[in-house]
Each structure stands twice: as structure tokens, then as C-alpha cells.
Amino acid sequence: MHHRNRVLVTGGRGFIGTNLVRALAATRPVRVFDSLERSSPTGWSDGDVDSIHASILDDSVLPSALEGVDSLVHLAAYGSVVESVKDPTANFHTNVLGTFNVLHAAANAGVRRVVFASTGGALIGDATPPVNEDSLPKPISPYGASKLCGEAYCHAFAMSRGLRAVCLRFGNVYGPHSAHKKGAVTMFIKALMLDEPIVIYGDGSASRDYIHVNDLCAGIEAALDSPLQGGEVFHVASGRETTVLELANILRDAAGKPNHPIEFRASRVGEVARNFAAYDLARQVLGFEPKRRLEEGLAETWQWFADHRDIVLSAKTSDS
């Protein structure tokens, strides 16, 4: 049966996907496509929505997965900079080949809209922030390169096949259902829970743009429903520069442990020094406006982790 507005979410069982599926399911039929290799340990159950357990590297499964699908959010990816430096081949297969498979299948299926999960910091590389859609991409990690390839294919399929694919460059996303992640927010929270030192790579001056997953999901929904041609790129971020040390301090306060020890280690290859993004274009075209202040969002996230302590501490972490 053809649903006018059915949306397929690849990686729909991951951190962002779990939150997005919950948000989308309130207004439209959702189908999830996920290998379950890096799924969130919380926030979903097997029968909650129509789901297909398969890999985006298996292009034979994609055509049937796209039957009756109006739009597609492509989140499935290996999300770690550090992991991509250690194993660029795995990153290439999932992020470049996998994304090509998804876009090619979507073009063949006549999908109305594709939203591709891209990245701001890693894709652009070391540049003086704030970055925006006019910044010249010069990735310094294989992960950043893989997302730039994905954007290139979105644009190419938009121009050559009329595929209305839109690229959203996400900031650093945090929030509930992220117990399995290896990003700074999750790692700092776990260190606080376990009374182990917070580990900071570098001197703590490196900066990022942290966006709450609910704000990000609102941006994805706006992109799904906006009348765009395809090939557009938008930064979906908070517009606020936060150093890693500031992040640690906000979380120490949220946990009620303002003097919790911090351990500094050598900085890691492939990670950009400073990053935050201006989201003016997304505001203008998509009506995107992040609602949650970082202090408030991180306090809520700390509380979520505290409420799910047992699951959180037993969750196997994945780099993506």
C-alpha cells in the first residue's frame, strides 16, 4: 500500500535515528533500515515501526525497502573521526559506497526527497570559525572526506537524475539514547558516573558546536517538508562555540561534581582544532532555530543518563 508520506530512515536504530523515528512517527508512517551493528541500547523496540534489518552495503535489499517510500533520511554511517583514521577502508565502504548505494536506489525508486546526514567540522577541516555553506571543504580525516563524497553524490544525482537530495551538516549532537556513543558528551558523563577522571585530548581549548538531538530532529523534519530542488547544503548547528574544557565544566556542574578530576592527554590525529557553524541559511530557508541552551540540554542529558545508569554502564560503545 502506498503511503503518501512514508519516510525511510537508514540508521534508524542509532542515536540520532532512535530520536528521529520517535519524532517522525507522530506525524507519518516510518520504516527503519538498520544493520543493528551500532544500534542504541535504548529508545526503541522491535515492533514499534516497520523495520528492515540489513546493511546499506547490500544494494539488493534497497529497492524493496524503498517501495511505497515518499522520502528518505540517510543517517546510516560510521561516525567516528578517530576510527576513520585507524581504519579508513571500513569508513569508505559504509560512508562512501553505502551512501552511493542509497542515493542510487532512491533515484531509481523516484523518491521525492532525500535528506543526507553530513557534517560541518570534519568535512571543512581546519578553518577559522564560524564556518558556513561558503567555506571551502578541506577534510583532515577520512571521515570528513567520506561525508564530502556523500555530498558530491547528492549534488550529482540532483543534477543528473532530478533526485531532490538535501545535505544537512550536523553539529556535534548530544542527548538521550546516546549511551553507546564515543563522543565527548557520553564519555565525560560516563567518567562522572564512574568517578573516573574526565579525559581531554589536547589542552581543552579545542572547540565544537554542540546541538541537542531534538533541535537537530526539528531541522531534519523541516528539510523533509520544505520545497527544495535538490543539491542544497545547510549547516544545522547551534552557532555557539564551546571549548572541550567548557563542556567538561558544564557537565561537572550538572553532575554536582564541580571539582571532578580532569586528565589531559595528547591530542588526536584528524580532529579539527576549532569549529562552530553559522546556521543563517537554515534559518532563512528551513525556518530552523535551535531551542535548547547547552547548559539546559546537558543538564537534561545528565539526568537521562543517571535515570538509565545500569543500561548506560553496560552498553557496548561504538565509535560511530
- Active-site residues: which are they? 143
Amino acid, single-letter form, for residue 194: L
Alpha helices in the chain (DSSP H): 15-24, 62-65, 81-86, 88-92, 98-109, 121-124, 142-161, 184-194, 213-225, 244-254, 280-286, 294-307, 309-314
With a CB cutoff of 8 Å and minimum separation 6, the contacts of 177 are 15, 18, 19, 40, 42, 43, 213
Q: Please, are residues 150 and 158 in contact by the beta-carbon 8 Å criterion?
A: no
Q: Helix, strand or coil for residue 118?
A: strand
Distance between first and last Cα of the chain: 34
Q: Please, are residues 153 and 205 in contact by the beta-carbon 8 Å criterion?
A: no
Give the C-alpha distances (Å, rounded to integers) separating 120 from 143, 148, 205, 240.
Answer: 11, 10, 19, 13
What region, left, alpha or beta, does residue 57 occupy, with left being phi > 0 and alpha being psi -120 to 50 degrees? alpha
Cβ atoms within 10 A of the Cβ of 155, count?
17
Q: Please, are residues 238 and 293 in contact by the beta-carbon 8 Å criterion?
A: no
